[in-house]
Amino acid sequence: MFAWRLLSGAITVRSAISKHIPNTPSECPLCGFSNATIDHLFIHCTIALSLPFASPLDYRVQRTTLTIQELFSEWLNDPLGMKKFCFGSTLLWCLWKARNDVIFRYKDINPAQIISVATNLNCDFLYPLAGFEDPSVPLFKTPATMVTTSWSPPPSGFINSVFGCRIHVSQGINESLEI
Ligand SMILES: [Zn+2]
pLDDT of residue 146: 43
How far away, in angstroms, is 52 Cα from ligand 1 center?
15
* Cβ partners under 8 Å of residue 80, min gap 6: 140
How far away, in angstroms, is 153 Cα from ligand 1 center?
40
Phi/psi for 174 (5° steps) reads: -115, -35
Burial code (b: 16+ CB inside 10 Å, e: under 16) for 8-29 equals: eeeeebbbbebeeeeeeebebb
How far away, in angstroms, is 48 Cα from ligand 1 center?
8
**Contacts of range 160-166, beta carbons closer than 8 Å, 24 or more positions apart:** none
Torsion sign, CA atoms 115, 116, 121, 122: positive
The count of other CB atoms within 10 Å of the CB of residue 169 is 11
pLDDT of residue 44: 94
Which residues of the chain fall short of a pLDDT of 70? 126-153, 158-179
How far away, in angstroms, is 132 Cα from ligand 1 center?
33
How far away, in angstroms, is 130 Cα from ligand 1 center?
32
pLDDT of residue 43: 94
How far away, in angstroms, is 118 Cα from ligand 1 center?
20
Integer Cα distance of 8 and 69 in angstroms: 9
Length of the chain: 179
The count of other CB atoms within 10 Å of the CB of residue 139 is 22
All structural domains of the chain with their residue ranges: 1-129
H helices of the chain, in order, are 2-8, 14-20, 38-39, 46-54, 68-77, 81-104, 111-121, 127-130
How far away, in angstroms, is 8 Cα from ligand 1 center?
20
pLDDT of residue 90: 93
Strands 172-176 and 158-160: unpaired
How far away, in angstroms, is 96 Cα from ligand 1 center?
12
pLDDT of residue 166: 56
How far away, in angstroms, is 142 Cα from ligand 1 center?
29
pLDDT of residue 170: 63
pLDDT of residue 26: 82
